[in-house]
Structure 1
Amino acid sequence: MSSVVGIDLDGWRRLVDGLREAVLVVDPAGLVRVRNAAAAARFPGLVPGEQFAVHATGRQHDLGDGWSAWYFTDTALDHAHLRLAGGTSREATLKNIVQLASELLGEHCVAVVPATRDRLEWWRCGGGEPTVARTPRRASVLSEVLTGASAMTKITSLGEGGWGVPEDFGCGLAVPLGVGGALVVLRRGDFAPHDVERVRLFGKHAAVALESSSKLTEQQRMIDVLRSALLPLPLPEVPGVSLASVFIPAHQRALVGGDFYDVHPRTDGSATFALGDVCGHGLEAAVHSGRVRQSLQALSLVETNPVRLLHLLNTSLRATGSKLFTTIVVGQLVPLADGGVSLSLASGGHPAPLVLRADGTVQDVSAPGAIVGILSDVRFSSEQVTLAPGDTLVLYSDGFTEARAHTNRSELFGEQRLRAVLKECKGLPAEEIARRCQEAVLKWLDRDDHDDLALLAVQAV
């Protein structure tokens, strides 16, 4: 073991060699006795045995008996690594990579990464805003780095590709940027050994940041695709009626919930509409509500009678084996030749819809029926309603009536308050009626937790 006056030099070498910081161990005579790899790259001429001059940028640690350890941190590079680690999207991370590399490592930097349809993306920055170009997969000068065969390649001739660099560049260094990618740092002059090490370290962190942000981007894309199938579709145009809706899930960050509504118009001018509520919360309820909506849409192509639709839906949902039940109102809408619309409604355990007449009176539409999706022996009944021009049918989920007051969590919003809000909507269009119902219940809640909220207004025009 190599030790001098109580200093274990071999132990110090093992301790500091893997550190990212440059570390020098200096003896009482001022001679360098230990130098780690980072220090060798930063101070290539300062070999063990050479005299060490106190360096203002270093941090000294007294080891006793005149010995000292000096630590040198590349603050700018460390800050860059932290910025890279904060990237949450692939595009933002690639912009950060070339911009930071241009600021810290070279005059012009290019990130070459795989794109779709067997193409390459060339993210470039020469001091201004990063730009991107896409080309067919041609980058022969980077082949060893792109395939992972080399950890670093020196470039003296660019060859084909979307480089977008000045013609007088001197040389470049290319390091891997994940599978199939490379970061290229270009300068007019050559790279000192310390600069080479900085490029290597930056590339290593950039590759990790890009892999992480790319995974997050792909996960978010998958979430968005799956979520889009669970969200209500935009309301269609239906002859003779004006439609408006409210949809506020309990978990607003997820944007999906167990409540749902749908309107499916037909070529003859009629339409099937529904509003329902799946028992439960969160993703499981949202997935089941998607299953209910898809089943109902398919069944409504072959059946228009609301009672028979509910029987078919009950059979279909029970066949899936799900343990979640659904409450739902299904309606059939037919425009009348002399104005207004005729409605046929059936309910499966759902709160009774309300009708706001043009004169301001509010009526309920009672169509008793069992919950859907659990029991084999169920009964549903139908109710006929005619809407004259200006009349509005309002379907809603129990998230409205069971909303708890922020001042007293045991007090519910209730059907009577909803009726009162509707009475105040006399003469208003469907969009304004839906908005006022939403505002009333949200004011009642005042940002407190709530169940899913869904409402569908069908107004004869």
Structure 2
Amino acid sequence: MAERLLPEVAPGELLAAAGIAGLPAGGDFTHHGRRLRARQVSLSAARCCWYVEDVTESVTRADALLAERARSAFLAVVGEKLGNPLHPDRAAAAVVRLAVPTLAEVAVLVRAPRSGRARWWRATRADDDAPAVDSGVLPAVEPPAAIAAGLDGGEPHTLDWLVEQAVSAGWLPGLTEACARVVPLPGRDAPAGVLLVARRATRWYDEADTELVRAFAARAGAALTTALLYRDQAEVADTLQASLVPVEPAEAAGVQWGTAYRPAQAGLRIGGDFYGSHRLADGGSVFFLRDVAGKGVEAAVFTGQLRQCLQALHRVESQPGRLLKLLNDALLETTRAQGQGRFATMVLGVTEARGGRRGDEQFGTERLVHALTGCHRMPAPALAERVEQVTCDWLAHGDHDDIAVLALRAAGPGERTPRHLHAVPVPTGSADTGETRP
């Protein structure tokens, strides 16, 4: 066994003459591609004996186990840190920051183009522990071939070719001799982006390294896809909210109006209440206030349908009773076709707001009349805000339905009609010469 492990050692010659580095010091050392472990045992007469053991396989298994544990720990941290960002830009920056230095000295993420523009983020290893992150936009030309291949779902592997393209793009500062890998970031229907990792040529990406990069890319792709989906949904919600926010009633001669509005759900700017007015052919105006059953986005969508239907019908029918009949018929036809039991009420007074000491007592007509006493000279916007404030005090910040107030009063000669007050609002009332009807 000794002859096989250490063929240079010859009987009768000094051990130093064999030129075996490491054996005199003991411990582990590498010899002819094998990992050997030397142990010295003292004998009598100042002699010693060396035991040499081939530990290549056991050390390899131990190193593999440690490496696997390190990879698992790294991916666990990645999964935890990528679970929070819900903004695509923050998610992309987090991905490249986490890739350095475990996977690369430079990491670049290129997101799938949107509106013809492809943004990139880059993290570069710095002297301290925190990598430096910057970003930019690819020129309005064809992206580097490796990036284009990655966005198509491929995984380019010609290393010199990848490095040349990364250097040409200006992404590898300080890395003159480097090795690189490009992997796609999985998305819903197509890759959400491409990750390029690069480090010095002294640390090549072996198969285990490449598998780790792919596992990292899978988690990064999931995080980026979630953030992109959240952004798309937020944009849809913003567009929906912008189209359904209550509009100001049209100005009418001799009438002063004021409004106040607060949705039931604080995170939304829309709800199931809406108000407005339409001018009539004879010069008059029809003011309306409605409460759609339900809350949130579902009620808001139904509100939009109802409002658009009213907008169309008032052009063919101005008599309020007949207009309401046509609107009701159209509403029934729509809800039956969709298999829904949706409904809306024309007016719901603030008198039904539940609050007080125990939170279940109705506001009532008496309190409303008392709140409006002495308000007959108050401008309509201030009157709407007054009703809103009194009702919210009664609710004591508890849960409530959508709150909308539309106040109307006769305007004196030459009296200017005020603009809409974007007040923190309340349920409905209509006022005329100081009298409010729920």
TM-score (norm 1): 0.61
Distance in 2 separating the partners of 1:429 and 1:292: 30
Amino acid at match of 2:90: A
What is residue 450 of structure 1 aligned with on the other side?
400
Q: Tell me which structure has the larger Cα radius of gyration.
A: 2
Given the alignment of the two structures, is residue 404 of structure 1 paired with residue 404 of structure 2, yes or no? no
Given the alignment of the two structures, is residue 139 of structure 1 paired with residue 144 of structure 2, yes or no? yes
Are the structure 2 counterparts of residues 131 and 52 from structure 1 closer, same or farther at C-alpha, using a change threshold of 3 Å? closer
**Residues 98 and 130 in structure 1, CA contact (< 8 A), matched pair in contact too:** no
Among all aligned residue pairs of Structure 1 and Structure 2, give the percentage whose two residues are the same amino acid.
Answer: 32
What is residue 10 of structure 1 aligned with on the other side?
none
Given the alignment of the two structures, is residue 184 of structure 1 paired with residue 196 of structure 2, yes or no? yes
What is residue 343 of structure 2 aligned with on the other side?
325
TM alignment of 1:343-362, pairs within 5 A: 350=347
Are the structure 2 counterparts of residues 53 and 98 from structure 1 closer, same or farther at C-alpha, using a change threshold of 3 Å? closer
TM alignment of 1:11-30, pairs within 5 A: none
Local SS of the residue matching 1:182: strand
Are the structure 2 counterparts of residues 408 and 108 from structure 1 closer, same or farther at C-alpha, using a change threshold of 3 Å? same
Given the alignment of the two structures, is residue 213 of structure 1 paired with residue 222 of structure 2, yes or no? no
For residue 293 of structure 1, report the CA deviation from its aligned partner.
0.9
For residue 313 of structure 1, report the CA deviation from its aligned partner.
1.8
Are the structure 2 counterparts of residues 320 and 81 from structure 1 closer, same or farther at C-alpha, using a change threshold of 3 Å? closer
What is residue 175 of structure 1 aligned with on the other side?
183
For residue 273 of structure 1, report the CA deviation from its aligned partner.
2.8
For residue 153 of structure 1, report the CA deviation from its aligned partner.
6.1
Are the structure 2 counterparts of residues 234 and 156 from structure 1 closer, same or farther at C-alpha, using a change threshold of 3 Å? farther
Amino acid at match of 1:300: H
Alpha-carbon displacement from aligned partner over 1:237-266 (angstroms, at most 9, x marks no partner):
667665432223334445543322124468
**Residues 96 and 107 in structure 2, CA contact (< 8 A), matched pair in contact too:** yes
Given the alignment of the two structures, is residue 287 of structure 1 paired with residue 291 of structure 2, yes or no? no
Distance in 2 separating the partners of 1:189 and 1:455: 70
**Residues 181 and 197 in structure 2, CA contact (< 8 A), matched pair in contact too:** yes
Are the structure 2 counterparts of residues 141 and 285 from structure 1 closer, same or farther at C-alpha, using a change threshold of 3 Å? closer
TM alignment of 1:423-434, pairs within 5 A: 423=373, 425-434=375-384
**Residues 154 and 184 in structure 2, CA contact (< 8 A), matched pair in contact too:** no
What is residue 155 of structure 2 aligned with on the other side?
150
Instruction: Give the structure with the larger helix fraction.
Output: 2
Local SS of the residue matching 2:354: coil
Amino acid at match of 2:314: S
Instruction: Give the structure with the larger strand fraction.
Output: 1
What is residue 216 of structure 2 aligned with on the other side?
202
Distance in 2 separating the partners of 1:103 and 1:414: 67
Distance in 2 separating the partners of 1:149 and 1:116: 20
Q: Structure 1 residue aligned with 2:315, among 281, 301, 319?
A: 301
What is residue 11 of structure 2 aligned with on the other side?
none
Alpha-carbon displacement from aligned partner over 1:277-314 (angstroms, at most 9, x marks no partner):
23445555433322221111112233434333223323
Local SS of the residue matching 2:362: coil
Local SS of the residue matching 1:250: coil
Q: Structure 1 residue aligned with 2:287, among 273, 278, 298?
A: 273
Where do 5+ consecutive residues of structure 1 fail to align? 1-29, 31-45, 60-69, 329-349, 351-396
Q: Structure 2 residue aligned with 1:94, among 76, 92, 95?
A: 92
Distance in 1 separating the partners of 2:109 and 2:281: 53
Q: Structure 1 residue aligned with 2:367, among 417, 438, 443?
A: 417
Amino acid at match of 2:136: V
Once superposed, what is the RMSD of the aligned Cα atoms? 4.0
Alpha-carbon displacement from aligned partner over 1:402-424 (angstroms, at most 9, x marks no partner):
11124234421122222322335
Are the structure 2 counterparts of residues 73 and 200 from structure 1 closer, same or farther at C-alpha, using a change threshold of 3 Å? closer
Distance in 2 separating the partners of 1:51 and 1:185: 27
Q: Structure 2 residue aligned with 1:85, among 83, 86, 109?
A: 83
**Residues 92 and 224 in structure 2, CA contact (< 8 A), matched pair in contact too:** yes
Alpha-carbon displacement from aligned partner over 1:405-451 (angstroms, at most 9, x marks no partner):
24234421122222322335454443333223222212211132222
For residue 52 of structure 1, report the CA deviation from its aligned partner.
8.2
Distance in 2 separating the partners of 1:310 and 1:140: 63
Distance in 2 separating the partners of 1:78 and 1:139: 32
Local SS of the residue matching 1:304: coil
Distance in 2 separating the partners of 1:130 and 1:281: 43
Q: Provide the aligned length of Structure 1 versus Structure 2.
A: 340
What is residue 109 of structure 2 aligned with on the other side?
111
Local SS of the residue matching 1:440: helix
TM-score (norm 2): 0.64
What is residue 50 of structure 1 aligned with on the other side?
59
**Residues 156 and 181 in structure 2, CA contact (< 8 A), matched pair in contact too:** no
**Residues 152 and 200 in structure 1, CA contact (< 8 A), matched pair in contact too:** no
Distance in 2 separating the partners of 1:410 and 1:88: 39
My pick for the range that moved more, 432-441 or 117-126, is 117-126
Are the structure 2 counterparts of residues 72 and 113 from structure 1 closer, same or farther at C-alpha, using a change threshold of 3 Å? closer
What is residue 120 of structure 1 aligned with on the other side?
118
Are the structure 2 counterparts of residues 176 and 235 from structure 1 closer, same or farther at C-alpha, using a change threshold of 3 Å? farther
